[in-house]
Structure 1
Amino acid sequence: MNVQIVLVGSLSEIPKSYRNENIFLFGKTLFVHKENEAYLYLGTKKDRITREDIRYLGGHTRRQINKWNVEEVNMDFQSLLKLAKEMNEKEVVTCFLEGWYLAGYNFNKYKQKNVNKQMSQLKMKGESYDTCNDMAIIRSRAINTARDFCNEPANKLTPEIYVKRLKEMFEDTKVEVEIIDINGLEDAGFHAVHVVGKGSSRSPYVAILRLNNGAGDPIALVGKGVTFDSGGTNVKTGRDIGEMKMDMGGAAAVTGAIQLLSDLDYKGNLLAVIPLVVNVAGEEAYLPSDVITYRNGLTVEVGNTDAEGRLILADAILYSTAAKAKYIIDIATLTGSIGHALGLKKAGIFCDDEDRLWELKEIGARSGDYVWPMPLVEDYQSLLKSDTADLNNMSASIYGGAITAAMFLKNFVSDDCRWIHIDMANTVRPWKEECYYTAGASGFGVRLLAELVQCERISDVN
């Protein structure tokens, strides 16, 4: 069976017997099958159509098509182009196709009956959209890379397996991969990674990715890679800590972003620092009251071993500074507090230049990875006071946990370096399984990081 996609712009486009004002509502669908022809009508009524709306339509269309045995789908983008007047033709088509491809994702490699439904062939009327199709495939593939990493069970994605997969991924690319194992961590300045990871039989690692494809100092991406987090000695007591296999969502986002930028032949220098640990309470596990000394001399008392993410991120930030990064973006599934503040749809974004926060919010909206500006409150630095060391990794207050975590990290960022911090703990899974979001991980952060890097590069050139 072949299906023609019709984006509803007027009642005249619908057969008389099916005409109903509700079909105009955005996302509403009507499937009509008559003789040897089938039509899928999609409602598009909305005050303003955004890029994410178009991705939504692409994914929503794919989901509807999957309900039937469809061999071929015919799509005419002209009506969609009329609706999205603020965007150019290539943007519109690429966004639709991105949603289409992402909606086809599933993670069922460990199921005995691994049945993947054959994808319907999408044919596009009018001009050749090969470049748009290629771009959509590149973008969706990078997002699906992050999804794959997050969805892997803890025993199938240890730090050692993670670094092996990185080597395989980037073997024939411009990305150079350096791996630091447990024997070299302290010499390389990753003291906290060594301390946090030593409680597990799964040894800690740090992956350093470099894409040297231009002039100037590198932009650094830092991703938290806790492949499983039991909370350590301060063991988690939640109902389902199986979700903690996704505590490396930041690392996955950085990995996907580097893949995307490499595939796009990004012209610039990139440095990615990915600390990888398993945080469990083994016989050599670190303990509350332990003190960690960092490469810059700062000392930190461990107030809570379940606040391990900020400890290893601090190592990676310091390494990035030593590598002369002028701009550092870190991303992490860092605090439950960010979800309490923002819900499940938008990650929190912090910046050392508060005036840029609303610009960053717009970049997030454009990418499809939504963020909301969060403050860096200097007065909260006092909540990180320790009687034993320079800092405590745990706030003295139960309130504002996402902000105090960001303030902790700020202590490790040099004054001459620009810095953005993204707390994505609430968005590592989709807030709702709809349109192009399927079961499992969301792939959040891949597009956001790539957009931030590209925007920063443009501003430097100009």
Structure 2
Amino acid sequence: MNVQIMLVDSLTELPSSYRNENLFSFGKTLLIHKENEAYLYLGTDKARITMEDIRYLGGETRRQIEKWNVKYAILDSKSLINITHQMKEEEVVVCFLEGWYLAGYKFNKYKRKNVTTLEPKLKLNNKSYHDCRKLALIRSNATNIARDLCNEPANKLTPKIFVKRLKEMFQDTKVEVEIIDIHGLKEAGFHAVHAVGKGSGSLPYVALLRLNSEVGDPTALIGKGVTFDSGGINAKTGKDIGEMKMDMGGAAAVTGAVKLLADLNYQGNLLAIIPLVVNVAGKDAYLPSDVITYKNGLTVEVGNTDAEGRLILADAILHATASNAKHIIDIATLTGSIGHALGLKKAGIFCNDEDWLWGLKELGESSGDYVWPMPLVDAYQSLLESDTADLNNMSSSIYGGSITAAMFLKNFVLDDCRWIHIDMANTVRPWKEEGYYPAGASGFGVRLLAEIVQCERISDVIC
């Protein structure tokens, strides 16, 4: 069966017998059969249509069509373009196609009996839009890389397997991959990665990805890669601890972003740093009260082994600094507190130059990876004091946990470096399974990181 997709924003565009005011509201769908033809009416009634709205419509269209075992769907691209304002034609088409492709994602590789559905084809009956399709596929494939990594069970994505997949992924690309194993971590300055990871039978690694590394000072992307987090000695007690297989969501986002930028032939200088550990309470596990001495001489008392993410990110920040990075962007599933502050739809974003924050928020809205500006409160530095070391990795207050975690990281950032920190713990899964978001991981951060890096100058994100 073929389906004609009809975009409607008023009751008068619906067949008279179906003119219910709820049927043309934004994102609502209605399938009508007429003789040998089928029509999918898609509501577009909204005061202002954004790029993310177009992706949503593309995804929702795909979701509905897959339910009906449709072979071909036909969309009049002119009707799609007509519902938008101040958006370029190609931009609109790319967004719709991106949503369409992302909605087709499924992670069922470990199911013995996979439920297969017919792969529907989308035809735009005005132009071929070959370049738009190509770009939409590149963008959606990069996001799906992050989804795949996050959805893998903990025993199928250890640090060792993660670095193996990185080597395979970038084997025939311009991306250089360097892997530091446990024997080289301390020499390379990754003392915290060694400490956090040594308690597990799955040993720690650090992956360094370089793209166009000879052009100017690099922009550094850092992703937290805890492939499973039990909390270590301070063991987690939550009932959904299986979700901690996604505690490498930041590492997945950085991996997808590097792949996206490489496929887009990005010409800048990029360094990605991905520390990879399993945080469990093994016989060699690090302990509360341990002191870690960092590459720059700063000492940290371990107040809580379940605050391991900030420890390994600090190592990576110092490595980025030693590599002359003037712009550092880290992304991590860092704190549960960020979800308490912002809910499940927007990640928290921090910056040591507040003038950037609202521009970064706009990039989040255009990319679909929503972020909300969060403050760095210098007064909270006192909450990280330790009687034994320079810092404690755990705040002495139960309040403002995402802010104090960011303040901990700020101690490792040089004053002349532009630093962005994204706490995405609340967005590693979609807040709802709708639009182009299926079950499983969201792939959050891939497009946002690429958008930030692709600015002509990174400072162009300032509004």
Name the TM-score class by shorter chain: over 0.9
Distance 1:356 1:459, change over 3 A: closer
SS in 1 for 2:376: coil
> Distance between the aligned counterparts of 2:220 and 2:9, measured in 1?
45
Distance 1:378 1:116, change over 3 A: same
1:249 aligns with 249
> Distance between the aligned counterparts of 1:281 and 1:196, measured in 2?
10
1:51 aligns with 51
Contact residue 8 and residue 23 of structure 1 kept, 8 A: no
> Distance between the aligned counterparts of 1:7 and 1:389, measured in 2?
62
2:268 aligned with 1:275: no
1:451 aligns with 451
Contact residue 214 and residue 267 of structure 1 kept, 8 A: no
Q: By how many angstroms is 1:21 displaced?
A: 3.2
Deviations 1:397-428 (A, max 9, x none): 00000000000000001111110000000000
1:14-413 equivalent positions in 2, closer than 5 A = 14-212=14-212, 215-413=215-413
Q: By how many angstroms is 1:456 displaced?
A: 5.6
Deviations 1:20-76 (A, max 9, x none): 333321111111111110000011000100011000000000011011121111011
SS in 1 for 2:289: coil
Deviations 1:277-312 (A, max 9, x none): 000000110000000000000000000000000000
Contact residue 347 and residue 426 of structure 2 kept, 8 A: yes
> Distance between the aligned counterparts of 2:14 and 2:434, measured in 1?
25
> Distance between the aligned counterparts of 2:311 and 2:241, measured in 1?
21
1:430 aligns with 430
Q: By how many angstroms is 1:125 displaced?
A: 1.1
Deviations 1:352-380 (A, max 9, x none): 00111111111100100000000000000
> Distance between the aligned counterparts of 1:307 and 1:158, measured in 2?
20
User: TM-score, normalized by length of structure 2?
Assistant: 0.98
> Distance between the aligned counterparts of 1:287 and 1:189, measured in 2?
20
Q: By how many angstroms is 1:189 displaced?
A: 0.3
2:5 aligns with 5
Contact residue 150 and residue 248 of structure 1 kept, 8 A: yes
SS in 1 for 2:67: coil
> Distance between the aligned counterparts of 1:342 and 1:209, measured in 2?
32
Q: By how many angstroms is 1:434 displaced?
A: 0.6
Moved more, 398-407 or 22-31: 22-31
Moved more, 127-136 or 56-65: 127-136
> Distance between the aligned counterparts of 2:172 and 2:118, measured in 1?
29
Give 2:314's aligned amino acid: A
Percent identity of paired positions between Structure 1 and Structure 2: 78
Give 1:291's aligned amino acid: V
Q: CA RMSD in A?
A: 1.4
SS in 2 for 1:315: helix
Q: By how many angstroms is 1:19 displaced?
A: 2.8
SS in 2 for 1:396: coil
Moved more, 394-403 or 82-91: 82-91
Q: By how many angstroms is 1:260 displaced?
A: 0.2
SS in 1 for 2:92: helix
Contact residue 268 and residue 457 of structure 1 kept, 8 A: no
> Distance between the aligned counterparts of 1:216 and 1:116, measured in 2?
48
Contact residue 213 and residue 267 of structure 1 kept, 8 A: no
- Count of matched residue positions in the alignment of Structure 1 and Structure 2: 462
Distance 1:278 1:458, change over 3 A: closer
> Distance between the aligned counterparts of 2:318 and 2:116, measured in 1?
44
SS in 1 for 2:106: coil
Contact residue 333 and residue 428 of structure 1 kept, 8 A: yes
SS in 1 for 2:154: coil
Distance 1:460 1:47, change over 3 A: closer
Unaligned runs of 5+ in 1: none
Contact residue 9 and residue 79 of structure 1 kept, 8 A: no
SS in 2 for 1:22: coil
> Distance between the aligned counterparts of 1:235 and 1:260, measured in 2?
36
Distance 1:103 1:217, change over 3 A: same
Contact residue 328 and residue 417 of structure 1 kept, 8 A: yes
After TM superposition, the runs of 4+ consecutive aligned structure 1 residues lying more than 2 A away are 9-24, 456-462
> Distance between the aligned counterparts of 1:344 and 1:127, measured in 2?
38
User: TM-score, normalized by length of structure 1?
Assistant: 0.98
> Distance between the aligned counterparts of 1:14 and 1:24, measured in 2?
8
> Distance between the aligned counterparts of 1:458 and 1:314, measured in 2?
22
> Distance between the aligned counterparts of 1:282 and 1:258, measured in 2?
33
SS in 1 for 2:359: helix
Deviations 1:120-167 (A, max 9, x none): 111111123111110110000000000000000000000000000000
Give 1:179's aligned amino acid: I
Deviations 1:319-369 (A, max 9, x none): 000000110000000000000000000000000001111111111001000
Distance 1:456 1:376, change over 3 A: farther
Unaligned runs of 5+ in 2: none
Q: By how many angstroms is 1:387 displaced?
A: 0.4
> Distance between the aligned counterparts of 1:456 and 1:305, measured in 2?
40
Give 1:39's aligned amino acid: Y
> Distance between the aligned counterparts of 1:169 and 1:242, measured in 2?
26
> Distance between the aligned counterparts of 1:230 and 1:108, measured in 2?
25
Q: By how many angstroms is 1:88 displaced?
A: 0.4
> Distance between the aligned counterparts of 1:10 and 1:340, measured in 2?
38
Contact residue 102 and residue 436 of structure 2 kept, 8 A: yes
> Distance between the aligned counterparts of 2:456 and 2:254, measured in 1?
16
Q: By how many angstroms is 1:214 displaced?
A: 6.4
Q: By how many angstroms is 1:13 displaced?
A: 3.4
Distance 1:458 1:126, change over 3 A: farther
Contact residue 8 and residue 44 of structure 1 kept, 8 A: yes
Distance 1:113 1:366, change over 3 A: same
Q: By how many angstroms is 1:458 displaced?
A: 6.2
Contact residue 452 and residue 458 of structure 2 kept, 8 A: no
Distance 1:363 1:156, change over 3 A: same
